[in-house]
Amino acid sequence: MSKALREVRQDGQATIAVPTGEVDLHHSPGLYQELVEVCKARPARLVIDLREVTYMDSSGVSTLVEVFRTVNRYGGKLVLLAPTARVRGMFEIARLDKFFVICDTQEEAMG
Amino acid sequence: MVPPEPTDIRIPSDPAKLCVVREAVRRTTREAGFEDPDAEQVVLAVDEALANVIKHGYGGRHDQPIDIRIEYAAEPGRIGLRFVIRDFGRTVDPRTICGRDLDDVRPGGLGVHIMRTVMDEVRYAAAEGGGTRLDMLKWNTAGGKKT
C-alpha cells in the first residue's frame, strides 16, 4: 500500500508532514492513520505541508479536522502550509478557511 | 452546435475508482467551456455525490454498480452539463437528505452542502426498480461561481 505521507521531518520544535497526490475517499483513511502516528509524539507544532496535494475532497477535510482536534487536545498547534488553489477552494466551500491556520510560506508556518 | 452524445460510465462502488470519474468529468467540463474555479468545483461535486453513494447507498461495499451519465444541457444563450448518478442500493428518502450546519465544525456531512453550493440544481429521487437517482445540473455562466 502506498504511503500517504511522502515525508515527515523535524525542524526545531515543529514536525512537518508532507502528504502528496489526491486526498479522496480512497486515500484519506491512510493519511489519517499516518497522521495519527505522527501525533503520538505530540509535536508542539504540526505543520502539514499541502503544496503537493493536487486534490482534496470532504473526506480529506474531515481528516484534517480530526487531526486538528487531536493536536488541540494535547495542547499543540496545527498549521496548514500553502494549499493549492484547488484545495483552498475546497476549504472555502466548506467554510473552513477561517477555521484552520493557513500559512503561505514555510517561514510563516514555523512561527 | 450539435451537442456531443452523452457519456455513460459504470464503476464499481470502490473508492479507488473515483479518480476515473474525476478525470472524465474534468475533461468534459473543459470541453464544455467551463474554467476554474467552476470546472474544478463541478468535479468536486460529482466526486462527493459518488462518495455518498458508496458510504450511504451501499454502506461501504466496494462491489456494487454505480452508473453515471454526463450530458449537455442547452437553453437559449447558455449551455451546461447534467450529471445523472444512479445506484441500486438502499433507497434514500429525498426528504431526509440535507447538508449539516457548517457552524458545527466536525468531520463528515459536508458532501451534500458542497453539491448544493456548487451546482445549480440537485435533485434526488427514488429510482424505478430500487436505489436512488441523483440529477445535478451546472450552467456555464461567465463569472458564475456560486460560493
**Per-residue pLDDT tens over the stretch B3-51:** 789 999 999 999 999 999 999 999 999 999 999 899 999 999 999 999 9
Instruction: Evaluate whether B54 touches B113 at the Cβ level (below 8 Å).
Output: no
Report the residue of B14, B44, B54, B115 to disrupt the A interface, i.e. the one with the largest count of A CBs within 10 Å. Answer: B44
Q: Where are the alpha helices (DSSP H) in B6-91?
A: 18-31, 38-52
Mean of the per-residue pLDDT values of chain B: 88
Q: DSSP code of B55?
A: I
Chain B residues touching residue A55 (CB < 8 angstroms): 22
Residues of A with CB under 8 A from a CB of B: 22, 24-26, 55, 57-59, 61-63, 65-66, 85-86, 89-90, 92-96, 99
Q: Which triple of cell numbers denotes residue A60?
A: 480529506
Q: Could you tell me the CATH superfamily of domain A7-76+86-109?
A: STAS domain (3.30.750.24)
Q: Could you tell me the CATH superfamily of domain B7-139?
A: Histidine kinase-like ATPase, C-terminal domain (3.30.565.10)
Report the residue of A1, A22, A23, A26 to disrupt the B interface, i.e. the one with the largest count of B CBs within 10 Å. Answer: A26
Residues of B with CB under 8 A from a CB of A: 15-16, 18-19, 22, 36-37, 40-41, 44, 47-48, 51, 54-55, 102, 105-108, 110-111, 113-114, 117-118, 147
Residue A105 has φ and ψ, to the nearest 5°, of -125, 155
CB atoms within 10 A of CB A7: 12
Residue A51 has φ and ψ, to the nearest 5°, of -65, -25
Task: List C-alpha distances in Å: B68 to B35, B53, B83, B129.
Answer: 22, 12, 7, 17
Mean local confidence (pLDDT), A81-86: 95
Question: Cα separation of A101 and A30, whole Å?
Answer: 23
pLDDT at site A2: 56
Chain A residues touching residue B106 (CB < 8 angstroms): 65
User: What is the ipTM metric for this complex?
Assistant: 0.90
Instruction: Evaluate whether B118 touches B44 at the Cβ level (below 8 Å).
Output: yes
**Per-residue pLDDT tens over the stretch A58-69:** 999 999 999 999
**For chain B, domain boundaries:** 7-139
- Hey, is A76 helix, strand or coil? coil
- Supply the pTM of this predicted model: 0.90
For chains A and B, CB pairs below 8 A equal: 61
**Per-residue pLDDT tens over the stretch A36-81:** 999 999 999 999 999 999 999 999 999 999 999 999 999 999 999 9
Question: Cα separation of A32 and A27, whole Å?
Answer: 9
Q: Where are the alpha helices (DSSP H) in chain A?
A: 28-39, 58-73, 85-93, 106-109
pLDDT at site B142: 59
Chain B residues touching residue A62 (CB < 8 angstroms): 107-108, 110
Residues of chain B with pLDDT > 70, as a percent, come to 84
The residue in chain B having the minimum alpha-carbon distance to the alpha carbon of residue A63 is: B107
In the block, residue with C-alpha cell 468529468: B25
